[in-house]
Structure 1
Amino acid sequence: MSDHSLITLVTTDHAGITRGRALSRAAYEADTTKTCGWVPANFSLTPFGEIAFPNPWGSAGDLRLKPDPQARFTCHPKGAATPLDFVMSDVVNLDGSAFAACPRTILRQAIDALKKETGLSVTASFEHEFQFTDGAGEGAPFSLAKLRGMEIFAEDLFTALDQAGLGPENLLPEYGGHQFEVTVKPAAALAAADRAVALRAILNEVARTHGRTITMSPKSAPDGVGNGLHIHLSLTDENGRPATYSAGGPGGLSDRAARFAAGIVRHMRALVAFTACSAISGIRLQPHNWSSSYTWLGDRDRESSLRICPVVTMGGKTPDAQFNMEYRAADCTASPHLALAVLIFAGLQGLKENLPFAPVFSGDPDLLSPEERQRLGLHRLPTSIDACLAALDADGTVKSWFDPLMIESYTGMKRKEEDLMAGLSEEERCARYAEIY
């Protein structure tokens, strides 16, 4: 390895894009407190590289990327000329204090608030769906033939993920054309979001070394199968014991987990502004699409937006440690840190307000009358950037979780993103996002 090999200090911004600056690896390892410069206006960058204007930052101000040595990810995929080496960083002010718009800091604030006010902690994992855009990965859905066609790619991917400490679990040949899903082991909330960032980077790196191109965009074509980001989460109590399951609870949820879920369902329309808010996310969030379309808590139902997941009891296994919920109204245009932060904040809100349990619904909301959907709390999710931001603006509780400057920056960036897509057909929009994500 050369004396000038590099490590990159990275942050994943409000658009879910990982950005950063490289340092000499030797210099970083000699002083892991070393920081590098950053700019406030970077938080107003759209996915397409334009800075939204006006924004609260302007051209003034300086920040630092402060690396977290516990969140370093290193691997050397087969065929790569050099190792992939990066460390997740907090965006801080020059005096080291937290910067209000840093997604990683916001997630940490949510984690700390939940712990302080309830004693609970969240364990999470992010499942990523992706598609090959170069014709690779052909085959029948879920078939061995489809998987075998990408066996070498899969082995190299798992090796790289393992080198980086992500704990790869499954590579699934998915339903869509050229589509797969990759999963890694769950971790504490902050580490889980960091791992989601690392997985995206490593997946793209392995694809590049194989001469392949992939996309994790929510839609590569309007009539194609969408790529979701499924966020699994469970609760542990003050003593580190599983706290999500109770045999007599609604859908098997414990009292606290049910109220946590109720908070997510109550605020879900506004949460989508942070979990699935691109100009094409709404094409995926449609009924009868094995996606999400309503504010809906379901028991093992893949159309629900918050799904109570199944457990395996064969071989004497017990539900307690397995039991978890899956938030499905998310995609890879979201920042993993912001997405998980709003889920935790919403769950905490449900606990603080002692919300009544959300109905566990099974069926087809489209077959119900408007009155019945209202009674069950089944409301359509927003399906455009404008609708997402309107739902966020209408929910003062969700807005209160953030510094006003962060909200101003985020909403301004999203409005600019929508402006950049104006006049394009759905096909053209999907093509643009597939190039970025």
Structure 2
Amino acid sequence: MTASVMASAHASGVRLIRFLYCDNGGVVRGKATHISALEARLHSGIGLTVAMQAMNAFDQLQRVEGMGPVGEIRLMPDPSTFVVLPYAPHTAALLVDLCTQEGEPWGACPRSFLKRVTQQAADMGLMFRASIENEFSLITPVDAPLDPTLCFSTAGMLAAQAVIDDLFAWLEAQGIIPEQYYPELAHGQHEISVQHAPLVAAADRQILVRETIRAAAHAHGLRASLAPKPFLDQAGNGGHIHISAWTTDGRNAFWDGSQPLGLSAMGRQFIAGILEHLPAVLALTTPSVNSYQRLQPNTWSSGFRCWGPDNREAPVRVASPYRHDLAGTINLEFKPADLSSNPYLALGALVVAGLDGIRRGLDPGEPVMINPADMPEAERSARGITPLPRSLDEALDALERDQLLLDALGPALATSYLAVRRSEAAACADLSPEEIARRHRFIY
């Protein structure tokens, strides 16, 4: 594999290779090596201070035991992720694991966490495939949305067509196949989806998609915001997760044509596990202060703990399968997720919760067929349809109480993650809603 990477890098005229990772604050960071040192770096990685996993999204270093000025880890590249970046001259990228000096997975590595979760699923005879939708806002140099066009409007397509054309061409050049595109509800807002992939590959792909969105906007004198709520008077940006489970013989484990909605017993159990752990899961899927400016009832981002078929106010939506392949296309959409998350942590948390539901044979109850906000409060209470956390601190409190997720993350990752996200909540505690939105606008 090393020889293949070196041959591809030389054939493509690459000079710099970026080693990319996503940190506890959901920020994509990295270092780059010159091609003259690439072969050695493929074996030994690039050094990184342990403190970086204690750095929050505002570049404020937190006090976390073992993550101070002393100590170093290695950015160890996965050669299978090598890709030439079509938007950056003579530049390629590799996705990395955070490893110890001895080459072992570091306890605070998000990518290694998702690998462990993938193995847990494999031990149960399951392989998960996922894709994360990408909503983003195109913003002009005067910090305003690109255009005032309408949802799904062709005028919106026209206004952004040069950006979107480059975006699609550059994704295709990286082997990432887009599936859908359309202008979304907010001014200057757009959404793209890409093909599903196994969990780690889906998260790796998400890092590259984020980078490519920003690059396409930059190439046209714009900036892209992937923040959950860049403008308070506009709809927010989500990062909805679509997920399905597959058996070792290639069957979709969520499909059973004899059952209501075509949803198997295992699919129901997976949903029940997500609902059981949902408040804690949100600490990893909607993990910024800005997330809770978006996550409100009646905004199609979900506000109550429930599930339903094609119910876009429910956190878990059973997506209608395609008529030509019912068994192959049924999947679950998890709506309370956005692009301030680390995709390795978001996907891992979702699967950990769902697997718990399968192991325990949990039941999600009856599906909700209306907007849960329209239900009388007494009915919601009787059916266990409780409000979702309304702040980052509330979600982090839930995570600290959820032993299943804490154990899955492990002490180093859980401790550093909680410290980083708590510090972001504290940094925003005295800010106005407008200032919170402004501060998050271009972090993600």
Assess if the C-alpha contact under 8 Å between 1:294 and 1:380 holds in 2: yes
Within the candidate set 265, 271, 296, 2:306 is matched to 296
Aligned counterpart in structure 2 of residue 352 of structure 1, from 359, 372, 383: 359
Q: What residue in structure 1 maps to residue 429 of structure 2?
A: 422
2:409 counterpart SS class: coil
Partner of 1:338 in structure 2? 345
Aligned with residue 42 of structure 1, among 36, 49, 52: 52
With over 3 angstroms needed to count, the CA separation of the structure-2 counterparts of 1:66 and 1:170, relative to structure 1, is same
2:403 aligned partner: 396
- Counterparts of 1:49 and 1:14 in 2: how far apart (Å)? 11
SS in 1 for 2:418: helix
Q: How does 1:267-286 map to 2 (within 5 A)?
A: 267-286=277-296
Q: What is the rounded CA distance, in whole Å, between the counterparts of 2:41 and 2:103 in structure 1?
A: 16
Q: 2: CA distance between counterparts of 1:15 and 1:31? A: 26
Q: Match of 1:189, as an amino acid?
A: L
- 2:357 counterpart letter in structure 1: G
Q: 1:54 to 1:33 in 2, by over 3 A?
A: closer
Q: State the shift of 1:331 in Å.
A: 0.8
- Post-superposition offset of 1:233: 0.4
1:259 aligns with 2:269: yes
Instruction: Look up the match of 2:92.
Output: 85
Counterparts in 2 of 1:145 and 1:387: CA distance versus 1, 3 Å: same
One of 53, 56, 63 as aligned partner of 1:53: 63
Structure 1 residue 213 corresponds to structure 2 residue 219? no
Give 1:379 deviation, angstroms: 1.6
Amino acid in the other structure paired with 1:193: A
Matched residue pairs, number? 430
CA change 1:335–1:299 in 2 (3 A) is same
CA distance in 2, matches of 1:250, 1:426: 43
- Structure 1 residue 256, shift from structure 2 partner: 1.2
Q: Aligned partners of 1:243 and 1:382: how far apart in 2?
A: 30
Residues 33-432 of structure 1: matches in 2 within 5 Å?
33-77=43-87, 80=88, 82-116=89-123, 118-134=124-140, 135-313=145-323, 317-432=324-439
Structure 2, unpaired ranges of 5+: 1-9
Equivalent residue of 1:308, what SS? strand
- What secondary structure, in the 3-state scheme, does the structure 1 residue paired with 2:326 have? coil
Distance 1:43 1:436 in 2: 16
Report the Cα offset of residue 219 of structure 1: 0.3
SS of structure 2 residue aligned to 1:325 = strand
Contact 2:51–2:61, Cα closer than 8 Å, also in 1: yes
Offset at residue 293 of structure 1 (A): 0.9
8 Å contact from structure 1 (residues 56, 408) kept in 2:
no
- Secondary structure of the residue aligned to 2:80 is strand
Matched residues in 1 for 2:219 and 2:44: separation? 31
Name whichever of 216-225 and 246-255 sits farther off.
246-255
Deviations 1:324-347 (A, max 9, x none): 111111111110000000011111
Give, in whole Å, the separation in 2 of the partners of 1:25 and 1:212. Answer: 31
Q: In structure 2, what is the Cα distance between the partners aligned to 1:173 and 1:14?
A: 30
Query: In 2, are the aligned partners of 1:265 and 1:358 still within 8 Å (CA)?
Result: no
Alpha carbons of structure 1 residues 65 and 155: separation in structure 2 relative to 1, 3 Å: same
Residue 15 of structure 2 is matched in structure 1 by 5
SS where residue 150 of structure 1 aligns?
helix
Distance in 1, matches of 2:299 and 2:163, equals 28
CA contact (8 A) 1:3 1:26 kept: no
| Separation of aligned partners in 1, 2:441 and 2:396 | 23
Structure 1 window deviating more from structure 2 (67-76 vs 371-380): it is 371-380
The letter for the 1-side match of 2:69 is S
Deviates more, 1:89-98 or 1:145-154: 145-154
Mapped to 2, the partners of 1:54 and 1:90 lie a distance apart of: 20
Amino acid at match of 2:24: H
- Tell me: CA distance 1:25–1:374, structure 2 relative to 1, closer, same or farther (3 Å): farther
**1:90 counterpart SS class:** strand
Aligned equivalents of 1:370 and 1:163: distance in 2? 51
Q: Deviations over 1:350-387 (max 9, x none)?
A: 11111124431121323434443234231211121210
Tell me how large the CA RMSD over aligned residues is.
Answer: 1.8
The one-letter code matched in structure 2 to 1:132 is: L
Q: Are the counterparts in 1 of residues 44 and 74 from structure 2 also a CA contact under 8 Å?
A: no
Report the CA distance between 1:136 and its aligned residue: 2.1
2:394 partner letter: A
Moved more, 200-209 or 390-399: 390-399
Q: Name structure 1 gaps, 5 residues minimum.
A: none
Is contact 1:73-1:198 (8 Å) kept? no
Change (3 A) 1:83 1:307: farther
Residues 122-156 of structure 1, C-alpha deviations (whole Å, 9 max, x = no match): 01011010011214244221111210222221111
Return the alpha-carbon distance in structure 2 between the equivalents of residues 404 and 350 of structure 1. Answer: 23
Q: Percent identity?
A: 32
In the alignment, the residues of structure 1 paired with residue 179 and residue 346 of structure 2 have an alpha-carbon distance, to the nearest angstrom, of 22
Cα deviation for residue 252 of structure 1 reads 2.2
